Amino acid sequence: MTLTSSPCSARVCLSAEGSTNVTAYFPAGVWYNWYTGTTLSSMKAQALTINALLSFVSIIVTLVPIHVRSGVVLPAQCPAMTTYETNRSNYFLIVAFDANQFANGHLYADDGVSIRGTSTSVQFTANAHGISGRAARYPYHISQKLEKVRVWGLNAQKVPIHVKKVVKNAQISFNSTTGILVVKGLSIDINRPFQIS
């Protein structure tokens, strides 16, 4: 087993051929499964056994277990065959709420090629009132748009769900059982301050 972690994520690698379960160390807190958004809670730092099998309709696949710590906003792009193609794809945000319905994070972006090129960063904040983003005033322009937001751990009893359509064609879904909110069909320029509420 290998555990790679940062303040906001943990990845556990299966090391034995045919393995489907793995025991991994999790610091105290709420962790969200990267693939499903379901929670794994650990009141204290401890080793937990997790299953690496995930079922999609009638297909069962083994995936590297990845968990996201509550309280973070992770910007991401869909993977492609090359880093060049990946860097050209639009962004999506994963908002992993903590118990106080708060999360924050940032994105660093540059051209991915130049050694001393320009760059910029975008700060994201999410709370019970919405999600906002503000880019630093650096010369690099991010051409990719924000096209989707997934919010994990939204407590409908603490936070009333009133989502204003930020784009004419935005599609919004909320599962009150899992606390997962998905807003897709966006086309937000993240170079400019924005608010989704």
Q: What is the pLDDT of residue 95?
A: 95
What CATH number is associated with residue 119? 2.60.40.1180
- Please check whether residues 97 and 166 belong to one and the same domain: yes
Average pLDDT for 153-165: 61
Range of the domain at 23: 2-68
Q: What is the pLDDT of residue 2?
A: 32
Q: What is the pLDDT of residues 40-73, one digit of tens each?
A: 877 788 877 777 665 555 555 566 778 889 999 9
* Domain end point (choices 21, 48, 68): 68
Which pairing describes strands 29-33 and 21-26: parallel, antiparallel, or unpaired? unpaired
Q: What is the pLDDT of residues 94-147, one digit of tens each?
A: 999 998 999 999 999 887 788 888 888 999 999 988 899 999 877 888 999 999
Q: What is the pLDDT of residue 153?
A: 92
Q: Which of 41, 46, 44, 36 is nearest to 69 (CA)?
A: 41
Q: What is the pLDDT of residue 93?
A: 95
Report residue 1's pLDDT band, with 50, 70 and 90 as the boundaries: very low
Higher pLDDT, residue 5 or 182: 182
Is 39 in contact with 52 (CB distance < 8 Å)? Answer: no
Q: What is the pLDDT of residue 83?
A: 80
- Please check whether residues 30 and 90 belong to one and the same domain: no
- Please check whether residues 49 and 89 belong to one and the same domain: no
Q: Which two tokens stand for residue 4?
A: 């790679």
Average pLDDT for 171-189: 89
Q: Residue 91 above 90 pLDDT? A: yes
* Domain end point (choices 52, 68, 84): 68
Q: What is the pLDDT of residue 112?
A: 77
